[in-house]
Chain A
């Protein structure tokens, strides 16, 4: 029965069975989501540790903290860990896995065992990468440019490449699962236009994962073969073409950034209506903008290569297309803002993260206009301007979206409330720390500091901005540690959550917190539109004090 006393815990997916086997052999999408949560958090802190060392080294112009080769490994592995082992899985594998079946009224994903396989592939990839790190690491940059990676680097390129290859299959299978689930397992009455926009965002993300990741996979295979057998596919000394590598690499790696941002946009699109008590403004436009980003995202890859040696005319076309892909993102920002108009707004932690996302994503996105511009890119390409741009989107955008989503759905996932005061404080610290870390880097980049520089003693004028950036990074680090601490705390001491503490719309809130293993007592029948806040009363207390 739905009602239960506090002294007698209802059966839910967490307490339904105990023991390590019940977790490691689970096919319950919710448990798999938690397995991913633990794994990606682990890698987040590894990547974060590398970032800390990088920022410490850059406090002074001289390379005096670590050796040059070590620094080169640090930034390479920071990038690879953060992108392949944290950002790409993060929202889809944790929040997506947990919520996609719940939001559409299904009992599980279409292929639960493949879902578990996804996680095991991720773990195999992760362990391989850890072994690579412990036995020397890799120093090619996350981009593996040839011929440096195939013929000059003395580090574990093959092992890193293989680890990322396996991680790619984890990503592909997750995407495959989501697409089939969304197509075939929606509850009766859940038409496409009644789907939460979180689902649309994950659908678009999954399309990219399916079509883009295999190209990275085959490119890594060719890099590994070339390095192992001294072939001449990408190495000009043996008759190959290094630009071919770059085209193949960026054909995936550009859409990959949309894999990283679209889910976060989906999260924000759930949070803003809830804490404005209003339906989203322009549902169809927001849904279509996700699809447009996925499609156009495949057409712009060579904007990473404007000064790489491509032809003038290629550059023109890719620049123009890059401006077109900016439009759907802009539409989303306007729609979120318009949703707040004449709303009834409260400032819960998820909403604070959503505000942070909108602000920082807007800034990051606007700086993308600089990079897409053929007049500006030759100056700022491969400088700290680019680093600032993508961190604004990946960290200011995707990570804040992830944290906002974790706070929003934490009651559903754990059955507990996190401490709201600490939540808001952490959100503020993250926002301030983030801006202090990365805004100076825009200026630094325009001044000309190239990226991937271990030592800048020839240019001491770069120091002040680097010091500011490192100071910000220490603040940002605190902001990230806090949620980990209080989420863990809340699992034992947090206030038990009701089924729908936010009075939010969405099928996931119609079941218990935490949900039972089968998600719903009875299959839901959907006869209402998405974001039906008109018919949902406001919560008694807006947010927990």
Chain B
């Protein structure tokens, strides 16, 4: 009997995913109301719960896809995968104000360049402090601090070692996870309560999963604005890191 249920759970993975996520969100909203009197958004707690599940799953399976690497929870991989994520993010744009999007054009471009450059410099600085001196490793770790996609793309282009690649991806993951967790707490301090600032926030922080989850936990109405800006960030990073930023790094640290 148990085996029969287990088989059904695995065969209907997406349905299992709906139940698990639905239950997680339900519990999170109860916790939000009872323990924080609604001060901490239920979706913020749910996202943190998701990350906890990812940790547990990663520990048990030894894989890279968190809870989705356990067969019973593989459906969560489909539900939270790139296809449905992009699909539903695009849907959030329905009802967004086109005028608000147009108004913030130039500052968003500025925020994209500033965000990529600042994150890159911080990453290079930390790598330098930890003893790295060759421009390829410095650039790859700096690129990882931009996003966890920019890091390996840059490292592959420059021929970085696999150890440096792993560090660079880890740096990008730390960034994404931190943005998810910290955004709802810091939103008030940085004035993140209107479409304009949401676009600047998306352009500056840029890490897609971090920005989309961070805004969801802060105010779902702001999601399309932030994500719209953030969607250019990884591309810009992949463009700047192996070219201009690498040349600048090589000039500063000839190795």
Do A and B pair up? The answer is no
> Which B positions have Cβ atoms within 8 angstroms of A?
none
> Which A positions have Cβ atoms within 8 angstroms of B?
none
